[in-house]
């Protein structure tokens, strides 16, 4: 039987994350969005709180939190600034692969500083011509004895210009197709790495998104994560967990848009009454409330089952697909409730609507989530 009541530790993590979000993250969020400014100082403090190593065991300098707590932190941050929450979520994604499959040497050199918040990681899977069809990556890694030489390009890399380490997925044997893909950790300062221009995005404007070019980058063999040829599986496993983080981000955005709509519709009058007395607005508020409750259950279920060690590929896709869809619905309706005020930058719902869009795109588009869910539900049908 599932229990979604938070325990004492989870409640206290929620309080810490919520206070930090309100007191430290929220105040400059509008300006950072306007100026597309990376939240450097805030991320430093997030690291000091242990939230950049939430899913790393204490043995490797992490906080060793359960997945439910990790989702709470991402949700609380997303309520005030989705850019900060995605940096935390991607760090969690990279950490998860290293915790599960990296050697002790990689953990010592890369995971420990990441867990302590001294180093950021970037997940380098997507390429200019390869997004949804992840098995088609073209970045090549050639075995040269004691090292690999990596050539290729990566696109849409969150935290790419700020990261100290790249988790790179590259093809080591094209004849084997996806079974030839290998995962590597690459020091971001390696010779031959070029960081492209920062993308000028619709939303998440203060998170960093860049392209990367690798020109004969030498990566020692000890930097292979897991086994040669195992990279596609590691990428998929990582994303299966990572998608719960993006679902939590979407949930946070949805809750923020709902809270703002409740407040505004109680204060704003039309035709002699607060607008929340009009049935047209009440229907919107009721829909928002119901969708958030359902999304929350899906996110908590995926996180809870993950904590039990179950395979949550379908559950995390369901959580991400549903939470990102309702976050966009709710953000759009929040702007509608705010009328003209919702369309100007001064009101937070405008940023929420721009920020919410990406949750339907990254870490697997909504179309890809449908594929993952459908394949799982039909696989056991006789
Ligand atoms: N765990 C382990 N193995 C898995 C798996 C999982 N969750 N999912 C699939 N696999 C295995 C399969 O069992 C299969 O194994 P075998 O070949 O040995 O039988 C193998 O992987 C291939 O699987 P599929 O046949 O399902 O592969 P496919 O090519 O048909 O489809 C896909 C896979 C679901 C479409 C996948 O390519 C996918 O998820 N695409 C989306 C990529 C994505 O999410 N990109 C996000 C970029 S990262 C990002 O956005 C981070 C950021 O910065 C914010």
Which amino acid residue places its CA nearest to atom 26 of ligand 1?
372
Considering the domain architecture, whether residues 115 and 206 belong to the same structural domain is answered as no
pLDDT per residue as tens digits for the range 321-337 = 999 999 999 999 999 99
pLDDT per residue as tens digits for the range 148-188 = 999 999 999 999 999 999 999 999 999 999 999 999 999 99
Q: For residue 364, give the ligand 1 atom closest to its CA.
A: 44
Considering the domain architecture, whether residues 112 and 138 belong to the same structural domain is answered as no
Cα distance from N-terminal residue to C-terminal residue, the chain: 28
Considering the domain architecture, whether residues 169 and 298 belong to the same structural domain is answered as no
Distance 206 CA to ligand 1 centre (A): 29
Task: Report d(CA 321, CA 366) in Å as an integer.
Answer: 6
Considering the domain architecture, whether residues 93 and 157 belong to the same structural domain is answered as no
Distance 241 CA to ligand 1 centre (A): 12
Task: Report d(CA 348, CA 341) in Å as an integer.
Answer: 10
Structure tokens belonging to residue 44: 């430093």
Is the pLDDT at 1 greater than 60, yes or no? no
Task: Report d(CA 238, CA 235) in Å as an integer.
Answer: 5
Structure tokens belonging to residue 191: 């010779």
Task: Report d(CA 147, CA 166) in Å as an integer.
Answer: 16
Distance 235 CA to ligand 1 centre (A): 7
For residue 1, being part of any structural domain is answered with no
- Which of 120, 155, 178 terminates a domain? The answer is 120
pLDDT at 2: 59
Q: 351: burial class by Cβ within 10 Å (0-12, 13-18, 19+)? A: buried
Largest separation between any pair of C-alpha atoms in the chain:
79
Angle in degrees, 0-180, between the axes of helices 313-338 and 279-307, rounded to the nearest 10:
160
- Which of 120, 152, 169 terminates a domain? The answer is 120
Considering the domain architecture, whether residues 288 and 343 belong to the same structural domain is answered as yes
Nearest to 369 by CA among 316, 332, 327: 316
Matching residue, tokens 């969708």: 291
Is-contact 83 43, C-beta < 8 A? no
Considering the domain architecture, whether residues 213 and 309 belong to the same structural domain is answered as no
Contacts of 198 by beta carbon, 8 Å cutoff, 6+ apart: 36, 161, 208, 209, 210
**Best mutation site among 169, 179, 236 for ligand 1 pocket (most ligand atoms within 8 Å of CB):** 236
SS3 107: helix
Catalytic residue among 199, 296, 360, 363: 363
pLDDT per residue as tens digits for the range 271-306 = 999 999 999 999 999 999 999 999 999 999 999 999
346 confidence band (pLDDT: 50, 70, 90)? confident
Matching residue, tokens 């997940």: 123
Between β-strands 273-274 and 269-270, what pairing exists: parallel, antiparallel or unpaired? antiparallel
| 318 counts as catalytic | no
Is the pLDDT at 242 greater than 80, yes or no? yes
Q: How many domains does the chain have?
A: 3
Structure tokens belonging to residue 61: 């300098």
Model pTM above 0.95: yes
pLDDT per residue as tens digits for the range 68-117 = 999 999 999 999 999 999 999 999 999 999 999 999 999 999 999 999 99
Task: Report d(CA 185, CA 122) in Å as an integer.
Answer: 10
381 confidence band (pLDDT: 50, 70, 90)? confident
Percent of the chain with pLDDT over 70: 99
- Which of 205, 229, 253 terminates a domain? The answer is 229
Q: What is the CATH number of the domain that holds 223?
A: 2.40.110.10
Considering the domain architecture, whether residues 137 and 72 belong to the same structural domain is answered as no
pLDDT at 4: 72
The per-residue pLDDT of the chain, averaged, comes to 97
Q: Give the structural domain span for 197.
A: 122-229
Is the pLDDT at 3 greater than 70, yes or no? no
Element (H, E) at 181: strand 181-187
Between β-strands 140-143 and 147-158, what pairing exists: parallel, antiparallel or unpaired? antiparallel
Per-residue pLDDT averaged across 198-202, rounded?
97
Structure tokens belonging to residue 302: 């995926």
Considering the domain architecture, whether residues 310 and 336 belong to the same structural domain is answered as yes
């Amino acid at each position: 039987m599932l229990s979604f009541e938070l325990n004492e530790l989870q409640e206290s993590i929620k309080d810490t994350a919520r206070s930090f979000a309100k007191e430290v993250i929220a105040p400059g969020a509008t300006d950072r969005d306007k100026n597309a400014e990376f939240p450097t100082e805030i991320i430093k403090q997030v690291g000091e709180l242990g939230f950049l190593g939430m899913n790393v065991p204490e043995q490797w300098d992490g906080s060793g939190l359960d997945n439910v707590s990790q989702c709470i932190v991402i949700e609380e941050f997303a309520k005030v600034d989705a850019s900060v929450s995605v940096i935390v979520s991607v760090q969690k994604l990279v950490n998860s692969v290293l915790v599960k499959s990296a050697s002790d040497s990689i953990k010592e050199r890369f995971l420990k500083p990441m867990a302590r918040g001294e180093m950021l990681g970037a997940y380098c899977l997507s390429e200019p011509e390869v997004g949804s069809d992840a098995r088609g990556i073209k970045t090549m890694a050639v075995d040269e004895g004691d090292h690999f030489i990596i050539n290729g390009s990566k696109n849409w890399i969150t935290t790419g210009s700020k990261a100290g380490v790249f988790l790179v997925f590259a093809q080591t044997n094209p004849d084997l197709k996806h079974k030839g893909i290998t995962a590597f950790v690459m020091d971001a300062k390696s010779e031959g790495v070029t960081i492209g221009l920062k993308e000028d995005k619709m939303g998440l404007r203060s998170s960093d998104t860049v392209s990367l070019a690798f020109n004969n980058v030498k990566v020692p063999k000890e930097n292979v994560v897991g086994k040669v040829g195992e990279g596609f599986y590691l990428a998929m496993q990582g994303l299966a967990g990572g998608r719960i983080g993006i679902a939590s981000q979407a949930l946070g955005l949805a809750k923020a848009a709902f809270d703002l709509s409740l407040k505004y519709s109680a204060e704003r009058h039309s035709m002699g009454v607060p607008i929340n007395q009009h049935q047209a607005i009440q229907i919107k508020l009721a829909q928002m409330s119901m969708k958030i409750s359902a999304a929350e259950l899906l996110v908590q279920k995926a996180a809870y089952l993950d904590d039990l060690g179950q395979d949550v590929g379908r559950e995390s896709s369901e959580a991400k697909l549903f939470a990102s869809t309702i976050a966009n619905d709710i953000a759009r309706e929040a702007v509608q409730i705010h009328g003209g005020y919702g369309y100007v930058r001064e009101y937070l719902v405008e940023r929420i609507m721009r920020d919410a869009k990406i949750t339907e795109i990254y870490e697997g588009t909504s179309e890809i989530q449908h594929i993952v869910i459908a394949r799982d539900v039909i696989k056991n049908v006789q």
